């Protein structure tokens, strides 16, 4: 009996439940479908998959070690997906290379990106000069997120940043490859500091901002679709469509739902999409 009580006590201290598991369920990248799927495995079916319905149900259960690992692995998988972002500036430095401007300044810039009160710190980084006009910086951040469960408060996340001048010599491109939002915040700061340094060195016009395309440039989702559709008809010298890495889809509640399909509303559990040429939608 004592052994059984000790085992239960150890499991209780290791596997969070109730309020202890809510940070994992709420403040993470787990989707509503992920939570609904976990409930369905337990034989619990909810018509409305919103978090305010699924989180209390899951928090009231004691998850098995396998179920808890499934949730953690699903979260880790989504956070580990590489998300590329590109931007560029017009280069007016003529005979000046990227390395000429940055070789003695990169370390100082990188070390100044995080403050003591920041929720993350730069764990390590490496600078590779692939050529005089192409520099690759790879690193990891250590994130401290107190909204996570006790197993995930501290975690390591990779990031990459490439600075490359075009073969024609008139464009400098910034390519950020990020994982969790904190790495995106870090690379955004880094990109701004690099651009500022280029302006101070007079190889980039002081009056011009970084050129990039972001979702906030569009007034609605249909404009984003139209923009992407243009790439099937027109080629651009400075823009190249690579691939779609993420799609979010759902019912537009602002419009009337067709009577013939009302049986679908609230009952769509999973939507599977197959990408072309063997590419995987993440």
Beta carbons of 35 and 25 less than 8 angstroms apart: yes
Distance CA 68, CA 272 (A): 24
Report yes or no on 275 lying in a domain.
Answer: no
Do 71 and 166 lie in one domain? The reply is no
Last residue of a domain, one of 25, 46, 79: 79
Report yes or no on 37 lying in a domain.
Answer: yes
Last residue of a domain, one of 19, 50, 79: 79
Rounded mean pLDDT, 49-61: 82
**Predicted local distance difference test score (pLDDT) of residue 67:** 80
CA–CA distances in Å: residue 48 to residues 32, 209, 210, 257: 10, 45, 43, 16
Give residue-wise pLDDT tens across range 195-209: 999 999 999 999 988
Do 222 and 130 lie in one domain? The reply is yes
Rounded mean pLDDT, 178-182: 87
Distance CA 115, CA 175 (A): 24
Domain CATH number, residue 106: 3.30.530
Task: Tell me which residue range forms the domain holding 116.
Answer: 82-230
Q: Pick the residue with more confidence: 105 or 74?
A: 105
- 251: tokens are 């019912």
Give residue-wise pLDDT tens across range 87-134: 999 999 888 999 999 999 999 999 999 888 888 899 999 999 999 999
**Predicted local distance difference test score (pLDDT) of residue 54:** 84
Last residue of a domain, one of 41, 59, 79: 79
**Predicted local distance difference test score (pLDDT) of residue 248:** 61
Do 92 and 33 lie in one domain? The reply is no
Report yes or no on 167 lying in a domain.
Answer: yes
Report yes or no on 244 lying in a domain.
Answer: no
Do 57 and 191 lie in one domain? The reply is no
Report yes or no on 176 lying in a domain.
Answer: yes
| pLDDT over 70 at 10, yes or no | no
Do 92 and 224 lie in one domain? The reply is yes
Do 88 and 178 lie in one domain? The reply is yes
**Predicted local distance difference test score (pLDDT) of residue 274:** 55
Do 89 and 202 lie in one domain? The reply is yes
Do 136 and 226 lie in one domain? The reply is yes
Report yes or no on 190 lying in a domain.
Answer: yes
Report yes or no on 27 lying in a domain.
Answer: yes
Beta carbons of 72 and 80 less than 8 angstroms apart: no
Do 189 and 124 lie in one domain? The reply is yes
pTM of the model: 0.62
Number of domains, the chain: 2
| Greatest mean pLDDT among 44-48, 86-90, 231-235, 264-268 | 86-90
Closest to 40 measured CA to CA, from 20, 21, 61, 23:
61
Do 118 and 38 lie in one domain? The reply is no
Report yes or no on 94 lying in a domain.
Answer: yes
Distance CA 62, CA 181 (A): 30
């Amino acid at each position: 009996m004592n052994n059984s009580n000790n085992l239960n006590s150890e499991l209780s201290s290791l596997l969070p439940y109730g309020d202890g598991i809510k940070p994992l369920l709420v403040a993470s990248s787990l989707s509503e479908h992920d939570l609904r799927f976990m409930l369905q495995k337990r034989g619990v079916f909810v018509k409305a998959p919103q978090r305010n319905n699924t989180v209390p149900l899951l928090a009231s259960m004691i998850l098995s070690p396998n179920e808890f690992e499934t949730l953690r692995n699903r979260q880790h998988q989504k956070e580990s997906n590489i998300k590329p972002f590109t931007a560029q500036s017009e280069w007016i430095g003529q005979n000046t290379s990227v390395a000429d401007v940055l070789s003695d300044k990169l370390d100082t810039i990188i070390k100044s990106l995080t403050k003591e009160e920041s929720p993350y710190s730069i764990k390590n980084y490496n600078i590779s000069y692939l050529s005089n006009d192409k520099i690759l910086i790879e690193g990891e951040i250590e994130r401290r997120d107190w909204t996570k469960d006790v197993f995930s408060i501290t975690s390591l996340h990779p990031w990459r940043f490439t600075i490359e001048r075009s073969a024609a010599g008139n464009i400098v491109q910034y390519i950020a490859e990020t994982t969790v939002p904190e790495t995106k915040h870090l690379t955004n700061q880094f990109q701004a500091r690099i651009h500022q340094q280029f302006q101070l060195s007079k190889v980039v016009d002081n009056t011009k901002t970084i050129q990039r395309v972001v979702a906030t440039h569009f007034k609605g989702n249909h404009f984003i679709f139209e923009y992407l559709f243009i790439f099937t008809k027109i080629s651009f010298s400075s823009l190249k469509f690579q691939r779609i890495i993420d799609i979010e889809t759902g019912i537009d509640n602002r419009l009337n739902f067709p009577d013939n399909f009302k049986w679908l509303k609230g009952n769509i559990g999973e939507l599977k999409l197959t990408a072309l040429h063997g590419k995987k939608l993440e």
